[in-house]
Amino acid sequence: MSIPIHNFSIQDKRSFEKFLNRSTQDLSGTISKIIPIIQNVKDKGDAAVKEYTNKFDNLDLDKFVWNLDEVTNESISPSLQKSFEVAKKNIEEFHKYQIPKSWTQEISGNRLGIKYTPVDSVTIYAPGGKALYPSSILMGAIPAKLAGVKNIQLATPPQKEGIPPVLAFVARLVGIDRIITVGGAQAIAACAFGTESIPKSEFIVGPGNSYVAAAKVYLSGLGAIGIESPAGPSEVLIIADNTANPKWIACDLLSQAEHGEDSIAILLTDSKELAEKVQNEIEIAFKERTKRIEIKKKAIYNNSYILVAPNLNDCVDFSNLYAPEHLEIITKDYNNIFQGILHAGSVFLGEYSPVAMGDYISGTNHILPTSGGARLFSSLGVDHFLKRTTFQEINKDSLKKLYPYVKEMSESEGLDEEHGHSVYLRTL
What's the burial of 352, exposed, middle or buried (CB within 10 Å: 0-12/13-18/19+)? Answer: exposed
Q: Half-sphere exposure of 263 toward its Cβ, with a 13 Å CA cutoff?
A: 25
pLDDT over 80 (residue 72): no
Say whether 325 is catalytic: yes
Q: What is the average per-residue pLDDT within 42-71?
A: 93
Shortest CA distance to 391 belongs to which of 75, 110, 169? 110
Q: Which tens digits make up the pLDDT trace of 175-196?
A: 999 999 999 999 999 999 999 9
pLDDT of residue 62: 87
Amino acid at 230: P
Q: What is the average per-residue pLDDT within 62-84?
A: 90
Longest dimension (CA), the chain: 85
pLDDT of residue 161: 85
What confidence category does residue 394 fall into, taking pLDDT thresholds of 50, 70 and 90? very high
pLDDT of residue 129: 63
pLDDT over 80 (residue 23): no
pLDDT over 60 (residue 214): yes
Using alpha carbons, list the distances in angstroms from residue 317 to 7, 325, 341: 15, 16, 8
pLDDT of residue 130: 61
**Pairing outcome for strands 110-118 and 121-125:** unpaired
Which span out of 14-23, 56-65, 70-79, 116-125 was modeled with the highest average pLDDT? 116-125
List strands edge to edge, sheet with 235-240: 5-7, 305-308, 264-269, 235-240, 326-330, 346-349
Q: Is the dihedral of CA 261, 267, 268, 273 positive or negative?
A: negative
Q: What is the average per-residue pLDDT within 44-61?
A: 95
pLDDT over 70 (residue 19): yes
Shortest CA distance to 204 belongs to which of 173, 180, 237, 239? 180
User: Under CATH, which architecture does the 5-22+232-362 domain have?
Assistant: 3-Layer(aba) Sandwich (3.40)
- For 12-31, b/e burial (b = at least 16 CB within 10 A) is eeeebeebeebeebebeebb
Q: Which tens digits make up the pLDDT trace of 341-373?
A: 999 999 999 999 999 999 999 999 999 999 899
5-22+232-362 and 28-229+382-386 have identical folds: yes
151 or 210: which carries more pLDDT confidence? 151
pLDDT of residue 270: 98
Note the pTM of the prediction, 2 decimals. 0.93
- CB-CB contact of 45 with 192 (8 Å): no
pLDDT over 90 (residue 25): no
Per mean pLDDT, which range of 19-23, 56-60, 264-268, 395-399 is the poorest? 19-23
State which fold the 28-229+382-386 domain adopts: Rossmann fold (3.40.50)
Provide the percentage of residues in the chain whose pLDDT is more than 90: 85
Q: Half-sphere exposure of 411 toward its Cβ, with a 13 Å CA cutoff?
A: 7
pLDDT of residue 26: 62
Say whether 413 is catalytic: no
Q: Half-sphere exposure of 252 toward its Cβ, with a 13 Å CA cutoff?
A: 29
Per the residue annotation, which of 325, 328, 366, 384 is the catalytic one?
325
- CB-CB contact of 109 with 397 (8 Å): yes
Q: What is the average per-residue pLDDT within 212-228?
A: 93
Shortest CA distance to 126 belongs to which of 180, 46, 194, 196? 180
All residues at 6 or more sequence positions from 339 whose CB lies less than 8 Å from its CB, including other chains: none
Per the residue annotation, which of 259, 326, 366, 384 is the catalytic one?
326
- CB-CB contact of 249 with 281 (8 Å): yes
Domain limits, the chain: 5-22+232-362, 28-229+382-386, 396-427
Separation CA 288–CA 310 (nearest Å): 33
pLDDT of residue 203: 96
Q: Which tens digits make up the pLDDT trace of 115-170?
A: 999 999 999 999 876 667 899 999 999 999 999 999 999 999 999 888 999 999 99
